[in-house]
Amino acid sequence: MNRIFIILFSISFIFSERGDLISFQYESSMLIDDIQLDLNNTFNELAPAALYSIKLYSIVYETIDQFGNYTEASGLICYPDNIFEAFPILSFQHGTQIRRNSAPSMNGFNDLVKWIGTSGYIFIEPDYIGLGISQLPHPYHLKDVTASSVIDMIRATKYFCDELSDIQYNDQLYLSGYSEGGYATMATVKEIEENLNHEIDITVSFPMAGAYDLSGVMVDLMLSEEIYADPFYLPYLVLSYIDKYDLGNIEDLFYPEYASILPDLFSGEYSGGYINSFLPDIPIHMMLESVVYDFSQNDIYPFRLALEENNLYDWTPQNPMYMFHGIADERVPHENSVVAYNNFVENGSESVYFESLPESYGGHQDAAVYCLLIAFDISESMKNIYSKGDLNLDTINNIQDIVMIVEVIFEGIEITSYLNWAADLNIDNQNNILDAVILVGDVLSE
């Protein structure tokens, strides 16, 4: 099938704003039977029933970088191939990646994309700044820019849906992520609730196994001088913070043999496993002894203050939030979620649920599958899919919808993207009396 590349030329392209859709590109499609076969082969008895055929696109959208400058980022959108129903948006924030071409938008269908898309969600996955098409350094564990890249992906997704005639989103938004994605999800929820609740409503969020206590739990882990499975985490974060907070040159923090190779290793061309092969098993041994001493002894050391600024536990979540974290997590210790949850409760939050997965579920990588399955089951219990004619979003077509369609036709209410779609029962891109007649017939026939 030919690849279709569509660039949206408009005034908004020239004077673009955050969340503007710059371009989108068709990538692939899958039919229900093929999806079911793939899921069965991978998950056996755990495989869900494939409900919809799906389509996959990559998009480019406008956002801001770690310095507040406008820039472009990319992401993936997968949606059910059904023009008669409106679906929730589920934004999944992926875990740590370094290699730019490993970003979701550049790798097509995977098991998670197929699972969520065929289950009846508009699945979106931002690449983040510094991955995918973005050539900037990745702002690793910087809360504000991370949240911005997710929020602007959500905005761009709605523009994308409005551009295409075969997809419609509804009023539900799910936010979910694991590891760095758990941190990204938590940062996104915080930003939306504190500054954007007039624009975006969160149905539920699932921050899983994230490093929410950077200046405490994660610092203690790095200073413990224990062997660490992925030593690249430390320089990845330090390089990000040097760039953002002007903490000096790389030679001021790392021993020469590491300072000389780290910029190239983190150029976006190499994987974490490859980078690990050049690093010591105890990450802190990369850093100058004098730096480690000053950091340990000085409470107002600039790097320590920067970490504190990016912690994600000193606030009060308002919308339903389910936190999951494995007790045996060796990469992002379980105590991160304990600290966050206890602070949320102390701050007065009544909407947060926290579950610790037992040691038998395994470490950071193994526990991820269980966290995702639990989050999916909860999402399914809350999911709404609306049909054309259901203007009042109550999952049934009745006299109340007839009243509303008359108001839509005669402009008695503000027309939203959803109402415009729901009232167009004959799919002629118009809202008129013919649509009302069809809806009356549907209601009377039930």
* pLDDT over 70 percentage in the chain: 97
User: Is the per-residue pLDDT at 21 higher than 70?
Assistant: yes
Give the orientation angle of helix 180-195 with respect to helix 143-163, to 10 degrees: 80
User: Is the per-residue pLDDT at 17 higher than 80?
Assistant: yes
Q: Hey, what amino acid is at 199? A: E
Q: Which domains does the chain have, with CATH numbers?
A: 5-213+313-386 (3.40.50.1820), 227-309 (1.10.260.160), 388-445 (1.10.1330.10)
Read off the pLDDT band of 5 (50, 70, 90): very low
User: Is the per-residue pLDDT at 13 higher than 80?
Assistant: no
User: Is the per-residue pLDDT at 209 higher than 60?
Assistant: yes
User: Is the per-residue pLDDT at 227 higher than 80?
Assistant: yes
- In Å, what is the CA distance from 425 to each residue of 160, 164, 211, 391, 412? 21, 17, 47, 11, 18
Half-sphere exposure of 60 (CA within 13 A, CB side): 15
The mean pLDDT value of the chain amounts to 95
Q: What is the pLDDT of residue 15?
A: 60
Straight-line distance from the first to the last Cα atom of the chain, in angstroms, rounded to the nearest whole number: 41
pLDDT tens digit sequence for 366-386: 999 999 999 999 999 999 999
Chain-centre distance of CA 162, in angstroms?
A: 21
pLDDT tens digit sequence for 75-87: 999 999 999 999 9
Using DSSP, how many helices (H) and how many strands (E) does the chain show?
17, 11
32, 171 contact by CB (below 8 A):
no
Q: What is the pLDDT of residue 132?
A: 98
CA angle 236, 239, 244 (to 5 degrees): 125
Read off the pLDDT band of 161 (50, 70, 90): very high
User: Is the per-residue pLDDT at 120 higher than 70?
Assistant: yes
Q: Hey, what amino acid is at 345? A: V
Q: Which two tokens stand for residue 277?
A: 């092969």
Q: What is the pLDDT of residue 2?
A: 45
Average pLDDT over residues 182-195: 98
Average pLDDT over residues 424-443: 93
pLDDT tens digit sequence for 318-361: 999 999 999 999 999 999 999 999 999 999 999 999 999 999 99
Read off the pLDDT band of 412 (50, 70, 90): confident
Read off the pLDDT band of 165 (50, 70, 90): confident
Which SS3 state, helix, strand or coil, does residue 352 take? strand
Q: Which two tokens stand for residue 319?
A: 């919308």
One DSSP character per residue, 89-143 reads EEEEE-----SGGGSGGGS---HHHHHHHHTT-EEEEE--TTSTT--SPP-TT-H
